Amino acid sequence: MFKNYIKTAFRSLYKNKGFTAINILGLALGLTTCLLIVLYVVDELSYDHYNVNHERIYRVNEDLKLGDNKVDYAVCMPPLAKTLKAEYPYVIEAARIKAAGTTHVKKGDLSIVENHIAFTDASIFSVFTLPMINGNPKTALSEPNTVVITETTAKKYFNTTDAIGKIIVFNDKENYKVTGVIKDVPKQSHFNFDFFVSLESFPDSRSNEWLRSDYNTYVLLKDKSYANQLNAAFPAFLQKFSGSQMQSELNMSYDQFEKNGSYFRLNLIALDDIHLKSNRSGELGPNGTTQYVYIFSAIALFILLIACVNFMNLSTARSANRAREVGVRKVLGSSRQHLIFQFLAESVMVTLFATIIAVLAAAVLLPVFNQIAGKDIVLTVQSFKWLAPSVFAIVIIVGTLAGSYPAFFLSGFQPIAVLKGKLSAGFKGSFLRSFLVVFQFSISILLIVGTLVIYNQLNFIQTKNLGYNRNQVLIVQNLGELGNQAGVFKQELSHLPGVSNSTMTGFLPTSNWKNTRIFFKDATLNQKQSLFPQTWEVDADWIPTLDMKMVQGRNFSKNISTDSSAIVINEAAAKFLGYKNAINQQLYQSLGGKTEISNTVIYHVIGVVKDFHFNSLREKIEPVILKMGQNNGALSIRLNASNLPALMAQIKAKWAGLSPNVQINYSFMDQDFDAAYRSEQRIGKIFVIFTTLAIVIACLGLFGLAAYAAEQRTKEIGIRKVLGADVSAIVAMLSKDFVKLVLLSIIIASPLAWYLMNKWLQDFAYRINIHWWVIAIAGAGALAIAIITISFQSFKAALANPVNSLKDQ
């Protein structure tokens, strides 16, 4: 019997090849997309799960409020880790990580730029699961000047993973002994380092200061239930350990400090939450956001729904055609059950084909998808363990659902009614089908609006006046290599034609150099009157090189000696400080120790620079204070060259003259800027792809329905044509019903899209407005696509010889 179902199903599907193809194709397309998104989402959700103890590992965060300044840190005080471990027995292990900036590592004569270097406590390997191939994880980092490297790094520098005892030279002078080689840190980790340098090598690591924060601090708890206990213990703990330092340095007790409305607070964040939920100052790398996980999950679900809706729609539409078949079968004695199984077998079979195609397509497309999404997803045996059952579930659920309408509905008819053809009359009649078409198109319109808004916002970011000019700026990143020759290099470049200006500092709007310092508005160092700005050391050429505008006062000058204590602030700082006229205002900075006027540095404001963006445009512009200083972090050169290659050659030659051994390392400021928005651009791209797919799938369904409608009404079309209907009248007649449904979708989807996208935009401090025309374009687009799809079928029907349709009775 079962074999008979399969055989009949197969023949029936084969007989309606076009219909079956549309059905399988649409469903396969939907499932492929869905699978890829699911892989993406699972990847995002499983960050840091490679740690055996991931459920018991927490990072300590610090929230700081000082006066009106609030900062959320991912980093804590230097002594916190060891103190927590000593104080609380349920803190089994604690480890700190401090990211090192760009470092040069020697390989033979070459100097290689490395960005993934961290100082870590020896306990790092007890907290995180970073399996060591060579060396002893317990002791590897307990000595100063030791380093543990990853497998890939070992191969890169020593051509072997057996690198124990070898020496690594940082920045041309610091020698570190390799004491361990670990497996590469998994991609799904919120940090990604190639070098783990012992913190013992770094004297600051033994600092006992409780009033500053610069170490990412992780604790391994005995059980995750202790997290609440530790969170509850933090206030008293902080008071106990930082109270005396507060008294001596800020001249006030901890209670007083809190009474002023300021606070230090510690709290735990679960390791598993860091990647998606943490976006604090001092993160070890860029994290993801739950927002996109939600959005993509929703899209996956939508696309799957659209595909299923198609499937159901086409199946039910066709079922009317099969009413006669059902009637005949019933007359011949088929039971209702038999018919139900027959229809279900057919629909499950289509789903099965579609799923097989989808799984294969997803596997083939995964590398492409990885590239677009910036991911490194691989299908492993592990992934098949959850994939296989879910895919199987999809086949059964979707197959049954889609087949259930024709199965139960048709099989329930009285044979005589079916044979008299009373059923095939009403194509328009199906409310369910209309509802499903509206549903599909509403989602499509939602996705189109989403895509347009995201694209507009990204475009807005890219073309927004940032307050500086990022074009034609060359940044020499490893200027530090030149040591005190850096100034000579800058001097020599200034003589080159094509170099219009240059500035020497690592602090740039596009770099991630950050430096927060506390300034006070008055000499009493009252923290209520404090400012927590970015404090950047720049030179007098900084503002002109970056093409920034002064709104008040003047820029620094090399020739005015008092400018060493001068500062230029941005508009945001002036506003925060409440200055109408900022010029000649004074700001105070503590030198540490007692809070006394003799212990402070006084700065006077000489100018206000127009606000410029340096964080992501998601965030508001923070206050910035610029002061004169020697900083050879980078050299930014404003070019004015018609022949860039020639100029580059000259610059490289000058560099080689000063540093023959080390290659110049440079980038362009506009590219650095673009890099900062790459993840957003990726999201935009993925969005466009998914939207297109969703629309294609929806249209595929509409195409099938239109074909079906035309087929159903062949005779009517024939008669109407005999009576004088021309092509346009027939096309209009066939399209009208669908167009009405699409219009209804527009009405439903527009406000929803507007609301949802406005919500998304709230995340950006600088954002576009959603104009009515965005919605109009989306609606018109969906309508146009639908009409084109339907017309294709309608024209075919309308242009046929009427005699063909009349014969067909």
Applying CB under 8 A, the residues found at the interface with other proteins are 425, 715-716, 718-727, 729, 798-803, 806, 809
User: Least distance in Å: CB of 416 to other proteins?
Assistant: 16
Q: Which is nearer to other proteins, 324 or 336 (CB)?
A: 324
Q: Which is nearer to other proteins, 81 or 798 (CB)?
A: 798
Q: Which is nearer to other proteins, 656 or 729 (CB)?
A: 729
User: Least distance in Å: CB of 729 to other proteins?
Assistant: 6
Beta-bridged to residue 148, according to DSSP, are 180, 196
Helix (H) or strand (E) holding 194: none
Q: Which is nearer to other proteins, 271 or 798 (CB)?
A: 798
Q: Which is nearer to other proteins, 433 or 720 (CB)?
A: 720
User: Least distance in Å: CB of 718 to other proteins?
Assistant: 8
Quick count: other Cβ atoms within 10 Å of Cβ 53? Answer: 16
User: Least distance in Å: CB of 325 to other proteins?
Assistant: 21
Q: Residue 584 and residue 605: Cα distance in Å, rounded?
A: 5
Q: Residue 444 and residue 692: Cα distance in Å, rounded?
A: 9
User: Least distance in Å: CB of 329 to other proteins?
Assistant: 25
> What amino acid occupies position 32?
T
Q: What is the DSSP letter of 65?
A: E
Residue 80 C-alpha from the chain's centroid: 31
Residue 651: partners with Cβ closer than 8 Å, 6 or more residues away: 474, 476, 493, 496, 499, 637, 664
Q: Residue 206 and residue 700: Cα distance in Å, rounded?
A: 66
Q: Which is nearer to other proteins, 652 or 715 (CB)?
A: 715
Q: Are 92 and 221 spatial neighbours (Cβ–Cβ below 8 Å)?
A: yes
User: Least distance in Å: CB of 408 to other proteins?
Assistant: 27
Q: Which is nearer to other proteins, 203 or 724 (CB)?
A: 724
User: Least distance in Å: CB of 804 to other proteins?
Assistant: 8
Tokens matching residue 409: 């509905």
User: Least distance in Å: CB of 756 to other proteins?
Assistant: 41
Q: Which is nearer to other proteins, 434 or 462 (CB)?
A: 434
Tokens matching residue 634: 């980078």
Q: Are 280 and 183 spatial neighbours (Cβ–Cβ below 8 Å)?
A: no
Q: For residue 183, give Cα distances in angstroms to 7, 81, 671, 808.
A: 54, 25, 32, 72
Q: For residue 589, give Cα distances in angstroms to 245, 464, 539.
A: 18, 34, 20
Q: Are strands 195-198 and 117-120 parallel, antiparallel or unpaired?
A: parallel
Q: Which is nearer to other proteins, 240 or 428 (CB)?
A: 428
Q: Residue 565 and residue 588: Cα distance in Å, rounded?
A: 11
Q: Are strands 499-504 and 635-639 parallel, antiparallel or unpaired?
A: antiparallel
Closest of 635, 582, 636 to residue 608, by C-alpha: 582
User: Least distance in Å: CB of 720 to other proteins?
Assistant: 7
User: Least distance in Å: CB of 711 to other proteins?
Assistant: 16
Q: Is 282 left (phi over 0), alpha (psi -120 to 50) or beta?
A: left
Q: Which is nearer to other proteins, 187 or 422 (CB)?
A: 422
Residue 584: partners with Cβ closer than 8 Å, 6 or more residues away: 604, 605, 606
DSSP codes joined into one string, 587-629: EEEE-SSS--GGGEEEEEEEEEEPP---S-TTSPPPPEEEEE-
Q: Residue 210 and residue 212: Cα distance in Å, rounded?
A: 6
DSSP codes joined into one string, 455-495: HHHHHHHHHS--SS--TTEEEETTGGGGGGGHHHHHHHHHT
User: Least distance in Å: CB of 420 to other proteins?
Assistant: 10
Q: Which is nearer to other proteins, 553 or 802 (CB)?
A: 802
Q: Which is nearer to other proteins, 96 or 721 (CB)?
A: 721
Could you tell me what percentage of the chain is helix, strand and coil, using 3-state DSSP and rounding each to the nearest 5? 55, 15, 30
Q: Which is nearer to other proteins, 416 or 646 (CB)?
A: 416
- Sign of the C-alpha dihedral, residues 12, 14, 18, 21? positive
Closest of 636, 623, 617 to residue 532, by C-alpha: 623
Tokens matching residue 791: 């017309």
User: Least distance in Å: CB of 16 to other proteins?
Assistant: 20
User: Least distance in Å: CB of 728 to other proteins?
Assistant: 9
Q: Which is nearer to other proteins, 590 or 735 (CB)?
A: 735
User: Least distance in Å: CB of 803 to other proteins?
Assistant: 4
Question: Residue 266: is it exposed, middle or buried by C-beta count within 10 angstroms (0-12/13-18/19+)?
Answer: buried
Q: Which is nearer to other proteins, 328 or 803 (CB)?
A: 803
Q: Which is nearer to other proteins, 397 or 727 (CB)?
A: 727
User: Least distance in Å: CB of 426 to other proteins?
Assistant: 9
Q: What is the DSSP letter of 561?
A: G
User: Least distance in Å: CB of 717 to other proteins?
Assistant: 10
Quick count: other Cβ atoms within 10 Å of Cβ 196? Answer: 28
Q: Residue 539 and residue 364: Cα distance in Å, rounded?
A: 53
User: Least distance in Å: CB of 431 to other proteins?
Assistant: 18
Q: Are 441 and 302 spatial neighbours (Cβ–Cβ below 8 Å)?
A: no
Token pair 């930014």 is found at 636
Q: Which is nearer to other proteins, 515 or 728 (CB)?
A: 728
Q: Residue 384 and residue 369: Cα distance in Å, rounded?
A: 18
